Structure 1
Amino acid sequence: MQKALIGKKIGMTQIFDEKGKVVPVTVVEAGPCVVSQVKTVETDGYAAIQMGYGDVKPKHVTKPLQGHFKKADVAPKRVLKEFRFDDCAAYELGQVIKADVFETGDKVDVTGKSKGKGYAGVIKRWNFARLKESHGTGPNARHGGSMGACSSPSRVWKGKKMAGHLGAEKVTVQNLAVVKIDAEDNLIAIKGAIPGANGGYVVIKDSVKA
């Protein structure tokens, strides 16, 4: 059965494996999540399940969502995510999914929102090299250089790498290993780093490359 969880990034630490080697891990508070909707081809045109994570007061939820949760007989949740599994019928409305749905050694993909860096130049944003710092290049060696030919096409091509907003976008890190699971506290230790700042919401899914 395909698996997924919504969680919150707690932070990074390190643990020791059975050989005594240090393993850097990111701790995620994964779940408990509740199935708030089961979509079918007959009613919605496609099969999917919707999960909710994080309790929130009803007054902080819009009225349409209040009705949505009331129909599902589920307490209001802060985060909703939809997953298209091959076998969505394996899940039931109101089913609670906890961290123990994954096992130690599983390979997972983690999706989150990367840290926002604000407006960044081409060196920080695209790893451009600096210009020459002598022979009349100019007062600034961290410019992007030529943007293209002048007479043809007489414009900057769409998609040209330039300075701009860096970060604060959806990022997925693939094929990470689950190192340890604390089912009692719904904690999952994942080897390596995952996107986003501490306290940010992430989605953990079965790895597509495993």
Structure 2
Amino acid sequence: MPPRTPLSWGTIPSLFLLPPSPRSMPCQSQRRTIRSILKPPPKPSRFDQSAKKVPAALSVSSSLNRKSYTLRQRTGVLATKKGMTALYDIESGKRTPCTVLQLDRCQVVSVKTREKHGYYAVQVGTGYRSPHNINRPLLGHYLVNEVAPKKKLVEFRVKGKEGLPPVGEELKASWFKVGQFVDAKSQNRGMGFAGGMKKWGWSGQPASHGNSLTHRAMGSAGGSQGSGSRVHPGKKMAGRMGGIQHTVQNLKVLQVDEENGIVVVKGCVSGPKKCLVEIQDAIKKPWQTVDLTLPMSMASIREEAII
């Protein structure tokens, strides 16, 4: 029997240097079954972040286009609520309650574009404010745009650059036409701290049958173990009432007085007298229900710009 040769570990090559076994080698030709043929290809997801560029559905332009139906084509104006009155029709004898709104030196202070600011908007100011009561950054903002200091500034978003009027243009009562519908946004009258019956319209607890000194009280605020032994969010309780922003939609314009800056709308508008009201074209009514053309000065500016 010949002697065995000594085993040297240095002569054995490493495993990764050895040729792969036939079982571990990948199959050169894949089998195509009926299931693989009939199976539809996977649909591309619009939220797929595998690509280096941002998907089209997540881009800024796409998100703005999806929300475009919530924007008006024209800017709104700022007015002051003067009070309520009524209009009488002599022929039919019908009395129509209405609200009187007055514009006071409503002017375009600045505009915002999508290229520079990311969206289209118009900054509108109303009234007058002494320069001594304005901080220096805001005073410089008025100085750059060559507009007198305003008592109140509000920004109105518009759908496109077609709705951007020139800076310094005064918006008068003729901005609206008789017969069109508008939305009026204002801050309603604050009631202070109010109980649950006044704030939420509860009917109250019984007047007898064991009830003692809890006739106008709230009662139970929530269940025990069955509802988690807690007070659920949004529970109606006593608290501050009013003093929040409220919008009344689809108010019909009854009269327009351009000389005095008065717009009379049908129905009531939230807020006390002398409150600030934002008037815009009705968002839930079709556009161009009446002839909504720009004032003569703005129309001439647009024609010169086109020429």
TM-score (normalizing by structure 1):
0.95
* Cα distance change, pair 88–59 in 1 and its aligned pair in 2 (3 A): farther
Look at both structures and tell me which one has the larger radius of gyration over its CA atoms: 2
Give the superposition deviation at 1:3.
Answer: 4.2
Alpha-carbon distance in 2 for matches of 1:58, 1:21: 48
Give the superposition deviation at 1:201.
Answer: 0.4
**2:234 maps to which of 153, 159, 166:** 159
Matched, 1:202 2:302: no
Higher helix fraction: Structure 1 or Structure 2?
A: 2
Write the mapping of 1:100-139 to structure 2, written as runs, cut at 5 A: 100-139=174-213
Matched, 1:186 2:227: no
Identity of aligned residues (%): 39
**2:111 maps to which of 16, 34, 38:** 38
Greater RCO, 1 or 2 (C-alpha within 8 Å, sep 6+): 1
Further displaced range: 90-99 or 69-78 = 90-99
Higher strand fraction: Structure 1 or Structure 2?
A: 1
Contact 1:3 1:102 in 2 (8 A): no
The amino acid of 1:188's aligned partner reads: V
Matched, 1:85 2:167: no
TM-score (normalizing by structure 2):
0.66
Contact 2:75 2:122 in 1 (8 A): no
The amino acid of 2:242's aligned partner reads: G
Give the superposition deviation at 1:18.
Answer: 6.1
The amino acid of 1:99's aligned partner reads: A
Matched, 1:17 2:89: yes
The amino acid of 1:144's aligned partner reads: M
Give the superposition deviation at 1:104.
Answer: 0.8
**Could you say what secondary structure the match of 2:213 adopts?**
coil
Q: What does residue 28 of structure 1 align with?
A: 101
Contact 2:75 2:157 in 1 (8 A): no
* Cα distance change, pair 132–31 in 1 and its aligned pair in 2 (3 A): same
Alpha-carbon distance in 1 for matches of 2:104, 2:115: 29
- Between the two proteins, the alignment pairs up a number of residues equal to 210
Question: Deviation per CA, 1:95-127, whole angstroms, max 9, x where unpaired?
Answer: 111011101111011000000000001111111
Alpha-carbon distance in 1 for matches of 2:214, 2:284: 44
* Cα distance change, pair 191–68 in 1 and its aligned pair in 2 (3 A): same
Gaps of 5+ in 1: none
Contact 1:33 1:52 in 2 (8 A): yes
Q: What does residue 78 of structure 2 align with?
A: 6
* Cα distance change, pair 4–18 in 1 and its aligned pair in 2 (3 A): farther
Gaps of 5+ in 2: 1-72, 286-307
Further displaced range: 27-36 or 47-56 = 27-36
Alpha-carbon distance in 2 for matches of 1:64, 1:170: 27
Further displaced range: 28-37 or 11-20 = 11-20
The amino acid of 2:253's aligned partner reads: V
